[in-house]
Amino acid sequence: MGGVDVVYNPYDPAVNDEPYPVYARLRAQAPLYHNPALGFWALSRYADVSAALTDSSLLSSDHGPMLDPGAWGPHARTFLSFVAMDPPEHTRMRAAISRGFTPRRVAALEPMIRQIARDHIGRAIERRTFDFAREIAAKLPLDVISELVGVPPSDRAHVRRNFGSLLMYDPEGKMAEDGLRSVIGLGDYYRSIIAERRKTPRDDLVSVLVADDELADEDIVAFLFLLIGAGAETTTHLLSAAWYWAWRNPAQRAVAFGGKVEQWVEESLRYDTPAHGVARRLTRDTDWYGTRVPKDARMWLLIGSANRDETVFPDPDAYDLSRDTGRAISFGAGRHYCLGGPLARLEARIALEELTKAVRPGYDVDPDGIRRTAHGNVRGMVCLPTTVTP
Ligand code: HEM
């Protein structure tokens, strides 16, 4: 394959800080890119990524969506649930879980989400200067998932603490020791909730899931891990991206604060996609751009690059709330299309609406204080110092 002068290492901190110029070069010069040292092949053009996402017989999810299939060590199965399954197992499990995770149940969460958003926003803005990522963006999605699952408010901080160490990875994307201990601790905690709901059902997701004979306790534990793993950090990064990019683009910020909150959410999802890439295992030898990729190769599908593809999104590096984002694939595509997309959009819309009511549009961000994280497939800000005027 050509493109010999393009070097792409997703674990390089410089690439992680600013991946889009590298993606543009991959799309132009090496739309199929091989990194033998890290053992993956990357697709970066919109057409290739979206076609690959929808062909689950060619591209299997059986080793999970992380770039490094060994990232979770012996805990992969516990944590990944049906995102690491293929049909027919995936179809059966996703259908069973979806019966508890209905649009009606999600829509009914709105008042609760608004209350949690108001609480966190209110507490943060009292101090005027605070870390947006930590105080608002990270707390809201975790608390919403806890509420959905049925974790009592008194245990939410416990879940947040465990989840925090779950996100500690070494530079090559492997989970740190503390993270593995948290997996075990949180698993035990979830098992205790499942046991309680078996005895005394309530109006929460776990009670619906335990009533389903097709689901064993361990299926439910794995799904709860998937919910928290797939649904918390991604939504956190979406909120921080929206806050940051609106700050960087004052004209767009005026549009956002003028009431175009849904467009603010959609363009932020496209522009700084939280789920940057998903990985697959190739099930048979396949040619891309004249190069044969062998069966079992690790394929890296760059959603973050596809969403900046100039053949689909004109002037893709402009953050523009008036653009058509309809073709963005921020939530994936095909069988594994994000189950929590409507919930993520609802949370983001509510939080941003509440922020536009609570603070003036002339807020500030300290760009030197920003810290980013990326591990395997999720990328975003973990520290975003901001100053607001109520
Ligand atoms: C799957 C993105 C929020 C639950 C996915 C996938 C993507 C994605 C790209 C596909 C993975 C693959 O193809 O291997 C996002 C983004 C979010 C978000 C960008 C926020 C901005 C959520 C939320 C939840 C959630 C809030 C639930 C609380 C799931 C689940 C799957 C999934 C259960 C697995 C679906 C399957 O394998 O069939 N997500 N997600 N996500 N997401 Fe999300």
Q: Which of 92, 338, 350 to mutate to test the pocket of ligand 1 (most atoms within 8 A of CB)?
A: 338
Contact 300, 40 (CB under 8 A): yes
Distance 184 CA to ligand 1 centre (A): 22
Contact between 309 and 43 (Cβ < 8 Å): no
Side-chain half-sphere CA neighbours of 86 within 13 A: 15
Give the dihedral sign, CA 216/218/224/227. Answer: negative
Closest CA to 293 of 47, 52, 46, 4: 52
Determine whether the shortest distance from the Cβ of 83 to ligand 1 is under 6 A: yes
94 lines ligand 1 (CB under 6 A): yes
The reported pLDDT for the residue numbered 376 is 67
* 240 CB near ligand 1 (under 6 Å): no
- Atom of ligand 1 at shortest distance to CA of 332? 9
Helix axes 250-257, 261-271, angle to 10 degrees: 140
Residue 181 alpha carbon to ligand 1 centre in Å: 24
- How many Å lie between the centroid of ligand 1 and the Cα of residue 376? 14
Cα 339 to averaged position of ligand 1 atoms, centre (Å): 6
Interface confidence, given as ipTM, is: 0.99
Q: 164 burial class (0-12, 13-18, 19+ CB within 10 angstroms)?
A: middle
Nearest-atom number in ligand 1 for the CA of 377 is 9
pLDDT at 179: 63
- 151 vs 137: CA distance, rounded Å: 19
Strand pairing class (40-43; 298-302): parallel
What is the predicted pLDDT for the residue at 13?
Answer: 86
Residues 6+ positions from 368 with CB-CB distance below 8 Å: none
Ligand 1 atom at minimum distance from 344 CA: 26
What type of residue is 348? Answer: A
DSSP state of 294: P
Structure tokens at 169: 């990875």
Taken in order 174, 178, 180, 183, the sign of the CA dihedral is negative
Cα 66 to Cα 75: distance, rounded to the nearest angstrom: 13
Q: Where are the domains of the chain?
A: 13-387
Spatial separation of the C-alpha atoms in residues 168 and 162, rounded to whole Å = 11
Dist. CA 316–CA 145, nearest whole Å: 33
How far away, in angstroms, is 3 Cα from ligand 1 center?
32
Nearest CA to ligand 1 atom 4: 340
**4 CA to centre of ligand 1 in angstroms:** 34
What are the C-alpha distances in Å from 342 to residues 27, 110, 113, 306?
30, 11, 13, 21
What is the DSSP secondary structure assignment for residue 134, as one 8-state letter? I
Q: Is the CB of 61 under 6 A from ligand 1?
A: yes
- Residue 142: which residues within 8 A CB-CB, separation 6 or more? 156, 159, 160, 163, 228, 232
Q: What is the mean pLDDT of each run of 10 residues along the chain (390 residues)?
A: 73 90 97 95 98 97 87 72 92 89 88 96 97 92 89 84 58 57 80 94 90 90 88 93 98 98 98 96 97 97 98 98 98 96 97 98 96 82 94
pLDDT of 4: 58
Contact assessment for residue 57 and residue 27, using Cβ atoms and an 8 Å cutoff: no
Note the pLDDT of residue 245: 98
Q: What angle do CA 144, 149, 155 make, to 5 degrees?
A: 75
The Å distance, Cα 230 to ligand 1 centre, comes to 5
Whether ligand 1 lies within 6 angstroms of the CB of 187 is answered as no
Lookup: tokens for 255: 């549009």
Q: Quickly name the fold that domain 13-387 has.
A: Cytochrome p450 (1.10.630)
CA distances from 137 to 108, 262, 364 (A): 21, 17, 16
* Cβ(22) – ligand 1 distance below 6 Å: no
Q: How far is the CA of 151 from the centre of ligand 1 (A)?
A: 21
> pTM of the predicted model, to two decimals?
0.94
**Interatomic CA distance for residues 389 and 127, integer angstroms:** 10
Question: How many Å separate Cα 348 from the centre of its chain?
Answer: 13
Residue 323 phi/psi, 5° resolution? -80, 165
